[in-house]
Amino acid sequence: MPTKNFSEGEMVMGRWPGSHLYYEVQVTGYDKSTQLYAVKYKDGTELDLKESDVKPLNYFKTKKSHSRSSSRQRSRSRSRSPARTQTSKRSTSRGRETKKRVQKEDVQKEDLPAVKSVHQVQENSTNNKATYMSEYKEEKEENNTKNIYRVVEHKIRREIVTDRLGLPSNLRAKKEERKFVELETKDDRLNVKKQAIRTQEWEFGGRVGAFFMLFLLPASVILLLSMCAEDDTSILSFPPPFPAFHTLWNSTALGIFVLWFLFQALLYLLPIGKVVEGVPLANGKTLKYRINAFYAFLLCAAALGAALYNEVNLSYIYDNLLQLAISAMVFSLLLSAYLYVRSWRVPADELAPGGNSGSFVYDFFIGRELNPRIRNFDLKYFCELRPGLMGWVVINLVLLFAEMKVQGHDMPSLAMILVNSFQLLYVLDALWNEAAVLTTMDIVHDGFGFMLTFGDLVWVPFTYSLQAFYLVNHPNELSWPVALAIIALNTVGYIIFRGANSQKNAFRRNPCDPKLAHLKTIPTATGKSLIVSGWWGFVRHPNYLGDLIMALAWSLPCGFNHILPYFYVIYFTCLLVHREARDARQCRKKYGVAWNKYCQQVRYRIFPYIY
């Protein structure tokens, strides 16, 4: 039985993967099954380390004091510090001289600890590089280029970690600089596989679950749309007849979907709206995002208005909803394939922590790359809110007209108006608060793979519009008092949802905001705090609670004749319960004891006094 030697919150020395460097880190958790310690570096990087890569804080100092030699040089040598200057056996006298000079400079430094600070390591690494370059120059005269490349590459490989921390380049001989850059680039590529952190925790049932989801999700969309199109949606007629295969595919529908996607991409590229920074990534980088989704919506609305004014036949969308959904599926599958292939060319630190398991099916489903971009075009951020969410609004509107036509009314029903208005409010809210998506799990944590491409491009527009689709063929008379009660329910849900999301976003963007001074917080080892009063003191996920209340309000206008309009509430409850568990796991890993303290103070996850 493995024993756990370090406890949560303890400061220890953690090895940086792929190097011999040890840094001071804090233990934030321990996974018994994988026997890995979750640790947090001072720069905010979080990694899982093996027991052998974690040492007590005084480990190196102890080693040094017990050293048989008092020479710092030797002590460093055994500790395999990167500052140790190494020469190959073939090293020439000039190389040795340079080495001695570097060693002398090292020794002259007062009280150099066995394990150095990042800054010191950088300095020494720079010296080493100067040494390596001079060795390289001389060896080039004596040996063939191939061998030298191997020697230099080997040495740079050892320094790659400090290199990533940003070395000053002025010590590099100009002539060799280009070669160095080439070697580093090559080395980076070589290290992509080596340094990428393997996913330890599998979600969604692992590779078997992911495999089934690849089929289950498209099948569910086809089934739901087929059921909604049926006049008789009673349980007795379940399952509905599978549509004839040749009717599923329609190349015009694919063309329309692609045009819609490109139109949205064009709007995304418009240089209107401010540019904001996302949350800092684990690799220390921060990406910039243009906020113009709301403007894009206004332009879409204008285009749609112009189309209606010119009597463009929008009923094509209603008549070919299934074919459009299948086109979106094909598109999302192709996009996922592209994303998977390109993920093998990106540096390791740009991969999502959860999408690098090594299993093709699982990684394809979850998504390997965290923020895939073509130049400044962020594919995940773009898909998250635009083609799918705005597509949902367009489909709802088309269904509203379809209801009037099918039911022979001059006006849409009250139920249809409520469903359309509630969902329009939800979409407008998401677009207006576009920047808030930058702190969500989808953007911060999840890779971009089939799960999100399918979710954004197929699931949202074609299943979230199910209530409106249901009402086209299954009218439900609503009295005004009932309608008012449903409006009140949606308003309550919206207030909780918006209040909670805004409170957290404002706090994450500026914890010192005077408007938030009344909030009680718990500090965490990461420097971030957790809110324990206000909405986030009510339940652990008040935003999910508000979202679920709204989901119920969207279904109620359809009456109680069938479960189909309630599909969204049922599915969404499952999704958010599962999502809450995923988030809690990640937060426990991130915040350790502070998260446990938060959970003790805020007992319920989503539903007060229930769950």
Q: By the criterion CB under 6 A, which residues form the site for ligand NDP?
A: 439-442, 497, 501, 504, 507-508, 528, 530-531, 536, 541, 543-544, 547, 579, 583, 586-587, 598
Nearer to ligand NDP, 136 or 289 (CB): 289
Whole-angstrom Cα distance, residue 161 to residue 125? 10
Minimum separation from the CB atom of position 467 to ligand NDP (A) = 14
CB nearer to ligand NDP: give 37 or 598: 598
Q: In the complex with ligand NDP, which residue's Cβ is closer, 469 or 598?
A: 598
> Angle at the Cα of 556 (from 555 to 558), degrees rounded to 5?
75
DSSP assignment of 28-49 equals EEEETTTTEEEEEETTS-EEEE
Q: 559 in the Ramachandran plot: left (φ > 0), alpha (ψ -120 to 50) or beta?
A: left
The letter for the amino acid at 34 is T
Closer of 268 and 598 to ligand NDP (Cβ): 598
Contacts 24+ apart (CB under 8 A), 136-141: 136/176, 137/173, 137/176, 138/92, 138/94, 138/95, 139/88, 139/90, 139/91, 139/92, 139/95
Least CB distance to ligand NDP at residue 410 (A):
33
CB of 541 to ligand NDP, least distance (A): 6
Q: Which is nearer to ligand NDP, 299 or 584 (CB)?
A: 584
Judged by beta carbon, residue 8 or residue 456, the one nearer ligand NDP is 456
Report the alpha-carbon distance of residue 49 to residue 4 in Å, rounded: 13
Q: Closer CB to ligand NDP, residue 359 or residue 440?
A: 440
Q: Which is nearer to ligand NDP, 206 or 511 (CB)?
A: 511
Tell me how far CA of residue 43 lies from CA of 47, 338, 356, 410, 507, in angstroms.
12, 33, 23, 63, 21
- Of the pair 136, 544, the CB lying nearest ligand NDP is at 544
Nearer to ligand NDP, 318 or 497 (CB): 497
Give the shortest CB-586-to-ligand NDP separation in angstroms. Answer: 6
Q: How far is the CB of 361 from ligand NDP (least distance, A)?
A: 23
How far from the centroid of its chain's Cα atoms is residue 257's Cα?
26
Residue 257 tokens read as: 């979907």
Which residues are CB-neighbours of 421 under 8 A, at least 6 positions away?
Answer: none
Which one-letter amino acid corresponds to residue 433? N
**Do 553 and 490 meet the contact criterion of CB atoms below 8 Å apart?**
yes
Cα angle: 537, vertex 595, 205; to 5 degrees:
105
Min CB(342)–ligand NDP separation in Å: 25
The four Cα atoms 387, 388, 391, 397 give a dihedral, to 10 degrees, of: -150
Least CB distance to ligand NDP at residue 546 (A): 7
Give the shortest CB-351-to-ligand NDP separation in angstroms: 19
* Shortest Å distance, C-beta 480 to ligand NDP: 28
Comparison of 88 and 503: residue with beta carbon closer to ligand NDP: 503
The DSSP annotation for 58-88 comes to THHHHHHHT-S---HHHHHHHHT-TTS----
Q: Which is nearer to ligand NDP, 73 or 439 (CB)?
A: 439
Lookup: tokens for 26: 């804090």
Q: What is the DSSP string of 308-327?
A: HHTT--THHHHHTHHHHHHH
Which residues, in sequence order, are CB contacts of 200 under 8 Å at separation 6+? Answer: 31, 34, 36, 48
Is residue 494 within 8 A of residue 486, CB to CB? The reply is no
Q: Find tokens 């489909």 and name the residue.
A: 395
Burial (CB count within 10 angstroms: exposed 0-12, middle 13-18, buried 19+), residue 216: exposed
Rounded to 5°, angle at Cα 286 from 280 and 288: 130
Residue 210 C-beta: closest distance to ligand NDP, Å: 19
Residue with tokens 């890569």: 53
Indicate the pairing of strand 36-41 with strand 46-50: antiparallel
Residues in the chain: 611
| Pick 96 or 528: Cβ nearer ligand NDP | 528
Question: From the CB of 46, what's the least distance to ligand NDP, in Å?
Answer: 11
Q: Any idea of the CA torsion for 100, 103, 109, 110, to the nearest 10 degrees?
A: -110
**CA-CA distances (angstroms) from residue 78 to 72, 82, 96?**
10, 11, 19
Q: How far is the CB of 58 from ligand NDP (least distance, A)?
A: 32
Rounded to the nearest whole angstrom, what is the least distance from the CB of residue 461 to ligand NDP in the complex? 11
Residue 98 CB, shortest distance to ligand NDP, in Å, is: 46
Nearer to ligand NDP, 357 or 501 (CB): 501
Is residue 194 packed enough to be buried (19+ CB in 10 Å), middle (13-18) or exposed (0-12)? exposed
Distance from C-alpha of 428 to C-alpha of 431, rounded to nearest angstrom:
5
Residue whose CB is less far from ligand NDP, 140 or 579? 579
Q: Please state the closest distance from residue 597 (CB atom) to ligand NDP, in A.
A: 11
